[in-house]
Structures are given as C-alpha cells and as structure tokens.
Amino acid sequence: MTTPEISRASFDSVMAPVYAPSAMVPVRALGSRVWDEHGKEYIDLTSGIAVTALGHAHPELVDVLTKQATQLWHAGNIFTNYPVLRLATRLTEATFADLAFFANSGAEANEAALKLARRVAHDRFGPAAKNKIVAFTQSFHGRTLFTVSAGGQPKYSEGFGSLPGDIVHLPFNNVEAALDEIDADTCAVIVEPVQGEGGVIPASCEFLQFLRSACTTHDALLIFDEVQTGIGRTGALFAYMSFGVTPDILTAAKALGNGFPIGAMLTTADIGKHFSVGTHGSTHGGNPLAAAVADRVVEMVNTAHVLEGVRDRSASMFASLRSINSRTGMFRELRGSGLLIGAELSDSYRGRSKEIMTAALDEGVMLLNAGPHVLRFAPALNIPYECIDEAFDRLETALHRLKGAKASAPTPVESQ
C-alpha cells in the first residue's frame, strides 16, 4: 500500500468531500490555545463547535480517561458498567429526568427522542392517532434522515429522496403560528432554547412557556434539543433551568464528553417506559470510556464557580464586541446566551462570515459562523480572561485589515 503524504493536501484524496476544512491543521492543544503543524499558536473561540467546554487536554479529564482505559473499554449492552450508571445517576439527580439513554452523538440523541415521542403516541392513542411533529424553521437537530427532516433547513435534507413525513415547520419565536398548528394530532414539539446553526437566536421565555402549555393541553411531548446549549453553555447546567420551563424529553451531547463522543436523552419514568426492551438501542451508547469522561465533566461543570464564571465571561465578551463594533461598524446585532454568542454582520459585511473567519485565523483566532451573516463564539467555559482579551485584540486587527483604511460610521448594535 502506498502511504500518501499526510497533510491538508491529502484530505481531498482520502476523505469523502462533505467538509472543506481550513488549510490550518491543528496538531496540539492545551486549554484554550491550539498549535498547528508549523508551531503557530491560535486562541480557540470555537471549542470544537461548543464541545471542549473545559478546554483541550484538561488534566483531570486526561486522568479519568487514562484510568478507565486500563480497566474496561467496552462491554456492549448485554452488560452494564459502573461509569454509565454513575453518569445516569448524576444527570437524573441534577435534572427533571428519571431515566437516561446514551448514544454517540447529538443526532442519535435527537433520533431517540423523536422515536420515543412517536412510540408514546402509538402506545397511548393508537397507531395513527397522533403522528405530527412540530419543529421550527432554521433549526438544526442532526444529520440522520429523521433529524435532518425535523431540522428546519432544507439545504441539509434536499437530494436524499423521500423524507419522513408528518413534520411541520413553523417560524421560531412565533406564538401565533404555534397556536394555530399545535393540536390534537401533535405527538411532539422539538425546539432549541437557542438556535445555534440557525443564527444564535435565543427563544423568548413567552414562546417556550406557550409551547409547554400547548403540549400539556394537547397531550404532546415537549422536546428540548440542548445538544449545543447543555452542560453549562448558557450559564446553567441546562438552558431550560433558566427559562423555568421543564420539557418532557431533553437531549444533550457536544460538551457532555468534552470531545469524547457521547450523546444523551433524558426523560421521565412515565415516558421512558415506552422504550421497552429491544425497541431502541446503540452498540456504543453507554461506552465506559465515554461515560467515565462525561461523568467527570458534569461533576466539574455543575458548580456555582463554573456557572457563574460562564455568566461573567459572557458579559466580558459582549462588552468587548460592543467596543470593537464602535470602531469597526462590523455588527448589526449581538445576541445569544452565556458563552454561545452570535454577532450578526452589518449590511456592508453581510455574506462575509467565512471571509472574516479566514482573516481571524490568519491573526491567530479560531472562530465559527452560523450561516453567511453571523459570527458565532463558543469558547471553553473556563477560558482565561487574558485569552479573551488577546483573542479580541487579534480579531479587531483582522477586522481592520478587512475593512481597509477607509473609515465608516459605527453601526448601532443591539445586544441580548
């Protein structure tokens, strides 16, 4: 076998072309700093798309993983294991839930949630009585055929043939539209407390409260997709805790394993019992390695110190972005919750989010976008303040370089 040169250039010859990664190849990381193959340093404001919530190579997580690797890697679901039991106990004790189901990703957690909702309706009301799922435009729930159909972005579902039916998409944060559509035929409503891929748009408290009331009235299940907002991202362990709205089913992933793949679906005993033996499963779900890491992540994040730190860092980042905008006029609106922040570009820079990401990378800052018009910031929850300051200094340099020498009046900016 001929071994190709291992570099970014080899990506296109050996990888399926579903990604277009940056020319920079990360090879080492610690905390919120990353180094590429040439030794250049970057400050990471992405945390692997809201995944490495406690930073890269956190010593306590390295220790947990290393110890578990010397004990039990995998057993399969004909057995259980102590790490997954500890993790399930920790999550249920910290939330509304009684039961947990573990998978490998957020998509699989959402798949389980949607299947469970349909199963509950089947068992309680008959095979054809309540099949409708209500979701929202610009949402994102994963890449399985079911979850990509529930997601309200056709660009992710087009070209894959017939899609699962009985899924209705409504405008996000629109109570009147939901009032008209959530009815006796609805088995579930699935919603993100903050739309991440859709532009970092927080749900209003009124909207989520209405969804809760409507689901209760019509015997439908309320599913909160907290794949991106869960595990401390918004300044609470889960975002639902800040809204005072309790879902029937909650999904988590991303930060749950701090980079080790794991997803979770949480629900009550009355609902979970409809997943009887053999109705659903996952070969790797509940893997001891993933569960051991996730258990420690939840233990570390779910503290007043960490969660208060998220809220403090959020305020610092919003202040820095407002300050940058006063000098660059780049942003039309700032919004988000905790350390999931969206900066919508002003009219003069609309459509240029990827260009800005590239310019920032050249200056040593790793950024995300949420579509062509929004920059997305999702750093580690424990990112040092000096990294925040340094990153925004570098970002402003990149923005001025894009803006050029010509000055323009600052754009008024709103923030949430």
Q: What residue ranges define each of the domains in the chain, with the CATH number in brackets?
A: 8-58+304-403 (3.90.1150.10), 72-301 (3.40.640.10)
| Distance, C-alpha 308 to centroid of its chain | 20
Find out whether 130 and 292 touch, Cβ atoms under 8 Å.
no
29's enclosing H/E stretch is strand 26-30
pTM of the model: 0.94
What angle, rounded to 10 degrees, do the helices at 288-301 and 59-69 form? 150
Q: What is the pLDDT of residues 127-158, one digit of tens each?
A: 878 999 999 999 999 999 889 999 988 888 88
**Please, which residues have CB within 8 angstroms of residue 189's CB and are 6 or more apart in sequence?**
133, 134, 135, 178, 182, 211, 214, 215, 220, 221, 222, 223
65-67-70-75 Cα dihedral, nearest 10 degrees: -60
38: tokens are 């040439």
Side by side, the strands of the sheet bearing 374-377 are 331-337, 340-345, 374-377, 368-369
- Confidence (pLDDT) at 2: 56
- Taking only the tens place, the pLDDT of each residue in 299-354 is 999 999 999 999 999 999 999 999 999 999 999 999 999 999 999 999 989 999 99
Burial code (b: 16+ CB inside 10 Å, e: under 16) for 294-312 equals: bbbbbebbbeeebbebbee
Among 84-98, 139-153, 182-196, 200-214, whose mean pLDDT is lowest?
A: 139-153
Quick one: pLDDT at residue 3? 55
- Burial of 250 from C-beta contacts in 10 A (0-12 / 13-18 / 19+): buried
- Indicate if the pLDDT at residue 410 is higher than 50: no
The mean pLDDT value for 22-34 works out to 95
Residue 299, token pair as written in the block: 């233990």
Q: Is 376 helix (H, G, I), strand (E, B) or coil?
A: strand
Provide the pLDDT confidence category of residue 7 given band limits of 50, 70 and 90: confident
For 63-99, the pLDDT digits (tens) are 999 999 999 999 988 999 999 999 999 999 999 999 9
pLDDT digits (tens, 9 = 90+) for 112-126: 999 999 999 999 999
- The amino acid sitting at 14 is V
10 Å CB burial of residue 47 (0-12, 13-18, 19+) is buried
Task: Give yes or no for residue 414 having a pLDDT over 50.
Answer: no
Question: What strand order describes the sheet that includes 365-366?
Answer: 26-30, 33-36, 41-44, 365-366
Give the pLDDT of residue 405: 36
pLDDT tens digits, residue range 250-302? 999 999 999 999 999 999 999 999 999 999 989 999 999 999 999 999 999 99
Contact 57, 65 (CB under 8 A): no
E-state strands within 154-257: 167-170, 186-191, 194-195, 201-202, 221-225, 249-252
**Mean pLDDT value of segment 6-10:** 81
Consecutive H or E run containing 350: none
Position 341: which residue type? I
Q: Concatenated DSSP letters for 104-125?
A: SSHHHHHHHHHHHHHHHHHHHH
CA angle 248, 107, 268 (to 5 degrees): 20
Residue 408: which pLDDT band, with cuts at 50, 70 and 90?
very low
CA distance 248 to 272: 10
What pLDDT does 406 receive?
41
